[in-house]
Structure 1
């Protein structure tokens, strides 16, 4: 035996043997699960013995929706999480600028839409009062909106506006100049390219394209950034993640890391299909990348699409009008006919599809596309997904089970959770839609398969915090449904079910002999904690592919 974990409360996620006391690992596989005496008898002089001291041992967390390159970059940027009010914002930005005198562009993340107040929206003029002489951009938690100061807009060449394509907007002021608010990636990118990484971390999600040129030093810097992010994932107990943006550049960087020192987590990447790409790219690129990157450590075997934006930026698409803006439902990024063709072609090639759809109108369009693929190609076990599903129309709830569509949702996203304010979200969707927003339990009760994740760096990455948020969500009104799931359902959404979504349920997501040794040892018993205290736990050991990738001091 290479590693034995004993004195544990093992949650195997295996219905045949749901609990145990000890785990034995040989190479990169689970060798045995059982009682302490039985497993300890297998030890040899070279076996590494880990005493769990009565704490939970479970399959490593599978983060089902995140952005590794952007998240890794954000670790070195200013976080405005929890910052409220102009004076507090000024203090944080001024200190960051002083500590980073050589940055061409100062970037801050997680700037809430109501960072000034619930009544006042940020403009370039506010930011000019904080830092007028250096380009500065701050990005909303959802990464669909940013705000830049005047000098940043000038140097980016967008102070006087620019056509940035459907669903994207450089918001203009009454003076005929950009007011500083940039909606969606095409509007944000002209500023982002001035950053330390040249905005390369945003290409996969923003354009689906490749960097025009990268020097050897830049590539080495990008690899170093990714390694930092991967190590952070391991420290949180993550042994697998499913990335939701992708391009060939990211894949090649990750492959180099795997070939030189080994990835500390299993990575699933998509081909990102944008609305301006020819349909032939699905076969010429997506299918080709699937063949090239096809190991259990690094795979590229699905297609990612954006159908709409976000509610707070008024770019989400609804069936009915925004409550605060009669006559406006939002514009989809794909027409129904265009998306149907994408869904049909991906399905024909055996490629699952994952679509960002926030509003109930966008969700309906995606379901329609999946139904069109089934009619065109016949039924298949494709395991298509919809990402976020912030609002679902009641008429569409049963369609998830009927079409076998996975609900990929984020417990960190409901307003009022994880430090997020209630406004402007609640006003924008209106009270009639409140019961159908972030409707985890409604979907599960209707037979839908659900997976949980954080959408990092949109929300903080720690899975234990996300699980806490899922277990402690408070309804916005007393008569609203309670959408919390059980702890067992929530943990499975982060382990076994996430492996099933990847078509890897026969080898990971469960602690079972013959399965990959992807394991996390926690600092305490998760079942013995009140829901509010789950985030106080921490990984003590993370093991991926039989290798210890993180060990707490």
Structure 2
């Protein structure tokens, strides 16, 4: 691993940003006004004069003019290839819930490649320096979108090898259908044949597997202990003869992945699904006590006791506050007001110490992380200390996703020796109300020490695929 220590400590920086507010999110980084980058790493964070000592004639210097620097944004659940195909369309659009799926299937490798590159440009324009593709693989080789099968994986490998990725990418393998069924036989066969090799895992990493365990409450397909108003009685999406068999098969999937050393992300919206998943993780940890960063995706109906279990087991939560806001009435209609009022307990997740990642699920929603932070604050209600809440929510898009990526040792905060991934906002996010954050422009994005987006400098998103 490269470092910024030893004899290199005083070597000239490649890029210095000074004269602003640096929200490093690292211990001891408070009050910084400048940051120096060298060889893809943070070389120094501190005051203008302290950081300027690393400048020479070759150093590029950016005058922030009071603007704010943050660690690069990490969207821990973003279907980038699909986003690149559909943007600016999203599944929700301006509706309360998901509408008809937009149609723009990717039919060949050239289109898939362009979609990935287009998503990278869009991510850069939003300050996103890392993202997770939560489900790519053979389970979707015949999928209608063409955005999730093994050919997409091949394009990611090629782009990484060519050095053309605009953001760092983590991938979860998918051995069933997107939002659809999977079975134990194909899952185990997929694990046996899994090829997670990659040139540089800091740019492209195959972390583990995705399991679609259930649906969503508004569609009355979440597997829950609650009763649906219309009498619906959904089952898990995992194949099996009956509920008990399906639950056992989901547990076997989690155990098999854990034994093989793979992270598991489980799409689980119902509390009953979450119970089954946590029981399986607890059994897996008892058998082989290693924290692989397993996590629940969405977690709409997660309960406070489940959140405590998640924190104890090291199980994270990747969730979308804007979906909570938009679908409140739909969940109320499906389950009744009491379960709807208790859904999406974001404040409880933070209070219980769960590793909480705020995500967009784009193109279900816009990939704009500022909207998710505003939605999270609105969902949680008034804060006693708005600045402290904003700080915590920013960490849910930086530090916590780095933990989910098993990369907290080298990215997620701005400190010497950490990855030189950052974004610049036109104003300090701690100085504005969360509702105002979506109007605070992203000015600059840097990945691995290189500027990949500058507002007003030809950083427009390309035309649709």
Whether TM-score is above 0.5 comes out as yes
2:173 equivalent in structure 1:
271
1:225 equivalent in structure 2:
115
Query: Which of residues 62, 80, 85 in structure 2 aligns to 1:73?
Result: 85
1:237 equivalent in structure 2:
127
1:21 equivalent in structure 2:
33
1:449 equivalent in structure 2:
355
Change (3 A) 1:539 1:363: same
Residues 234-383 of structure 1: matches in 2 within 5 Å?
234-247=124-137, 248-274=150-176, 275-276=182-183, 277-286=185-194, 289-292=195-198, 295-322=201-228, 324-326=229-231, 328-334=232-238, 335-375=246-286, 377-383=287-293
1:459 equivalent in structure 2:
365
| 2:346 equivalent to 1:440 | yes
Q: Secondary structure at the match of 2:130?
A: strand
Q: CA RMSD in A?
A: 2.4
Does the Cα contact within 8 Å between 1:440 and 1:484 map onto a contact in 2?
A: no
Change (3 A) 1:396 1:38: closer
Residues 492-531 of structure 1: matches in 2 within 5 Å?
492-531=395-434
Change (3 A) 1:504 1:395: closer
Q: Secondary structure at the match of 1:342?
A: helix
Where relative contact order (Cα < 8 A, 6+ residues apart) is larger, the structure is 2
Does the Cα contact within 8 Å between 2:93 and 2:365 map onto a contact in 1?
A: no
2:21 equivalent in structure 1:
9
Change (3 A) 1:484 1:313: farther
Q: Secondary structure at the match of 1:39?
A: helix
Q: Secondary structure at the match of 1:516?
A: coil
Displacement after TM superposition at 1:396 (Å): 2.4
1:539 equivalent in structure 2:
442
| 2:316 equivalent to 1:406 | yes
Residues 28-39 of structure 1: matches in 2 within 5 Å?
28-39=40-51
Unaligned runs of 5+ in 2: 1-12, 138-149, 177-181, 239-245, 457-465
Displacement after TM superposition at 1:443 (Å): 2.2
Distance in 2, Cα, partners of 1:421 & 1:434: 9
Does the Cα contact within 8 Å between 2:266 and 2:297 map onto a contact in 1?
A: yes
Displacement after TM superposition at 1:66 (Å): 1.0
Distance in 2, Cα, partners of 1:399 & 1:484: 29
Change (3 A) 1:147 1:443: closer
Distance in 2, Cα, partners of 1:253 & 1:57: 32
Q: Secondary structure at the match of 1:461?
A: coil
Displacement after TM superposition at 1:436 (Å): 2.4
Distance in 1, Cα, partners of 2:118 & 2:59: 29
Residue deviations 1:106-148, cap 9 Å, x none?
A: xxxxx655xxxxxxxxxxxxxxxxxxxxxxxxxx26xxxx479
Displacement after TM superposition at 1:547 (Å): 1.0
Distance in 2, Cα, partners of 1:371 & 1:342: 14
Distance in 1, Cα, partners of 2:90 & 2:411: 36
Displacement after TM superposition at 1:232 (Å): 0.3
Superposed structure 1 runs of 4+ greater than 4 Å apart: 76-80, 482-485
Distance in 2, Cα, partners of 1:317 & 1:352: 22
Q: Secondary structure at the match of 1:468?
A: helix
Change (3 A) 1:330 1:483: farther
Residues 101-112 of structure 1: matches in 2 within 5 Å?
112=96
Displacement after TM superposition at 1:353 (Å): 0.5
Does the Cα contact within 8 Å between 1:61 and 1:239 map onto a contact in 2?
A: yes
Query: Which of residues 50, 71, 74 in structure 1 aligns to 2:62?
Result: 50
TM-score, structure 1 normalization = 0.71
Distance in 1, Cα, partners of 2:312 & 2:129: 31
Displacement after TM superposition at 1:395 (Å): 4.0
Query: Which of residues 296, 313, 331 in structure 2 aligns to 1:386?
Result: 296
Q: Secondary structure at the match of 2:217?
A: coil
Query: Which of residues 43, 46, 64 in structure 1 aligns to 2:76?
Result: 64
Distance in 2, Cα, partners of 1:340 & 1:484: 41
Distance in 1, Cα, partners of 2:419 & 2:380: 37
Residue deviations 1:217-249, cap 9 Å, x none?
A: x31222112211110001000000011121232
2:106 equivalent in structure 1:
197
Distance in 1, Cα, partners of 2:64 & 2:249: 53
1:208 equivalent in structure 2:
none
Unaligned runs of 5+ in 1: 83-110, 114-139, 149-191, 199-217
Displacement after TM superposition at 1:282 (Å): 4.5
Does the Cα contact within 8 Å between 1:282 and 1:345 map onto a contact in 2?
A: no
Displacement after TM superposition at 1:536 (Å): 0.8
TM-score, structure 2 normalization = 0.84
Does the Cα contact within 8 Å between 1:408 and 1:452 map onto a contact in 2?
A: yes
Displacement after TM superposition at 1:535 (Å): 0.9
Change (3 A) 1:398 1:329: farther
Distance in 1, Cα, partners of 2:327 & 2:296: 24
Distance in 2, Cα, partners of 1:280 & 1:303: 11
